[in-house]
Structure 1
Amino acid sequence: MSTETWKKVDEYFTKKLHEPESIMDNVLKSNEEAGLPSIDVSPNQGKLLNLLVQMKGATKILEIGTLGGYSTIWMARALPENGKLITLEYAEKHADVARKNIEHAGISDKVEIMVGAALDSLPVLEERGEKDFDFIFIDADKPNNPHYLEWALKLSKPGTVIIGDNVVRDGKVVDEDTEDAVIKGVQSFIDLLSRNPHIDSTAIQTVGSKGYDGFVLGIVK
């Protein structure tokens, strides 16, 4: 099987199971035109996030890693009228693109973008009393994943769903001799999950238009 086959299967399910999404298509187009890296979640992964938010009945979401707001919009659209999503983005350029995309999607009233290093923004959230998030999506720089998880647990409550994306890395996560900071960050993230008694988690391998990767799904006890 090849990446091309995986891509075709993704497209098949998206076409069969998703309503036409001109808004989401335009987000990807805007991101491309702005020169953002093509590392957004795929449409079916975005829809999965949307469904998980609905299944959880989340009203308060934290996202670490905004990029152009593609996953942000998928999740925010699943929120109720009184719902809120706070997303953290390092790069001002990415945040500017995301703001425009979020405004075009008609959900600016539900989304707050905080610009700067996430490890600087997370203590600010704590100071503001922003905690007890229902749903937390971690999809930023992988070397800092262990730190993001520690903050996610600190800002969560029993029942909070925590998702960590891109944890398989073409299977490289099992390379015990790696010197790659990205892989080592993911491994430390997994090790922290394995040792922490306050979260119950698993990891799912995926193939698709984004290649061979996977995600962690956890529920805070």
Structure 2
Amino acid sequence: MTGEATWSAVDSYVSDRLLAEADPVFEAILRANAAAGLPAIDVSPAQGKFLHLLVRIAGAKRVLEIGTLGGYSTVWLASALPPDGHLISLEYAERHAAVARENIARAGLLEQVEVRQGAALDLLPDVSGPFDLVFIDADKPNNPGYLDWAVRLSRPGSVIVLDNVVRDGKVTDASSEDRNVRGSRAAFDYVHDHPRLDATALQTVGLKGYDGFALALVR
């Protein structure tokens, strides 16, 4: 067994051994998303738990998410917040935002989570920081703009996570015409050149194939 079959099997093993006690609401959210016809591009359960743990490790009370989809990652993030914590999530598609709100209500997190619908770059000027953690998982061509706002809305010590930066390894192709690849490369350039960001990126394999994320600490 090699390749994607192995990656999926390991993801299943991790879920069985380490996520078996997770709230069943997460499975309910994925079922609701599928029933609503949303694309199956949510983070994996293991990645969701990783985001949850990052919020706890950072001691985050305020979280900004750019790209809600059906709220699966939103609930993973928000469920790690303390009682006085708050999360704002920005979603372009009206249908996705509506499904996300239903899922957030299903998780009992409506008082802590606010979903704002519209183009993120239009919404961000009206968002008030600072945030302790920012998770970016939206359209990739706008990654540099999202990163710029993430830094503006952060403080020293804030954490920024940018998803889907490896693109099946295509991020190394400087001649690529793929807008998503070009967006990922532009994100790397932005982080490389920004004096306030100390960052790395990790490749990932699993249920979602071969990709990766960048992790930055704001100086």
The two structures have a TM-score, normalised by structure 2, of: 0.98
User: 2: distance between equivalents of 1:114 and 1:99?
Assistant: 10
Q: Report deviation, 1:212.
A: 0.3
Determine helix, strand or coil for the equivalent of 1:46: helix
Among 45, 48, 51, the alignment partner of 2:50 is 48
Q: Within 5 A, what are the aligned runs for 1:9-24?
A: 9-18=10-19, 19-24=21-26
Among 182, 195, 198, the alignment partner of 1:197 is 195
Deviations 1:147-200 (CA, angstroms, capped at 9, x unpaired): 000000010000000000000000000001011111101100000100111010
* Number of aligned residues: 217
Is 1:208 equivalent to 2:206 in the alignment?
yes
User: 2: distance between equivalents of 1:133 and 1:146?
Assistant: 18
Determine helix, strand or coil for the equivalent of 1:206: strand
User: 2: distance between equivalents of 1:202 and 1:176?
Assistant: 19
Identify the residue that residue 147 of structure 1 maps to in structure 2. 145
Identify the residue that residue 91 of structure 2 maps to in structure 1. 89
Q: Report deviation, 1:21.
A: 3.1
Deviations 1:5-51 (CA, angstroms, capped at 9, x unpaired): 10110010111011143100000000000000000000000000000
User: 2: distance between equivalents of 1:176 and 1:99?
Assistant: 39
User: 1: distance between equivalents of 2:218 and 2:23?
Assistant: 33
Residue segments in structure 2 that go unaligned for 5+ positions in a row: none
The residue identity in structure 2 corresponding to 1:145 is N
The CA RMSD measured in Å over matched residues stands at 0.6
User: 2: distance between equivalents of 1:5 and 1:186?
Assistant: 26
Which runs of 4 or more aligned residues in structure 1 lie more than 4 Å from their structure 2 counterparts after TM superposition?
none
User: 2: distance between equivalents of 1:80 and 1:38?
Assistant: 29
User: 2: distance between equivalents of 1:28 and 1:104?
Assistant: 12
Determine helix, strand or coil for the equivalent of 1:66: coil
Identify the residue that residue 5 of structure 1 maps to in structure 2. 6
Q: Report deviation, 1:124.
A: 1.4
Q: Within 5 A, what are the aligned runs for 1:102-117?
A: 102-117=104-119
Is 1:76 equivalent to 2:71 in the alignment?
no
Determine helix, strand or coil for the equivalent of 2:65: strand
Identify the residue that residue 173 of structure 1 maps to in structure 2. 171
The residue identity in structure 1 corresponding to 2:119 is A
Identify the residue that residue 32 of structure 1 maps to in structure 2. 34
The residue identity in structure 2 corresponding to 1:59 is K
Q: Report deviation, 1:94.
A: 0.2
Among 82, 89, 100, the alignment partner of 1:98 is 100
User: 2: distance between equivalents of 1:38 and 1:20?
Assistant: 20
The two structures have a TM-score, normalised by structure 1, of: 0.97
Q: Report deviation, 1:205.
A: 0.3
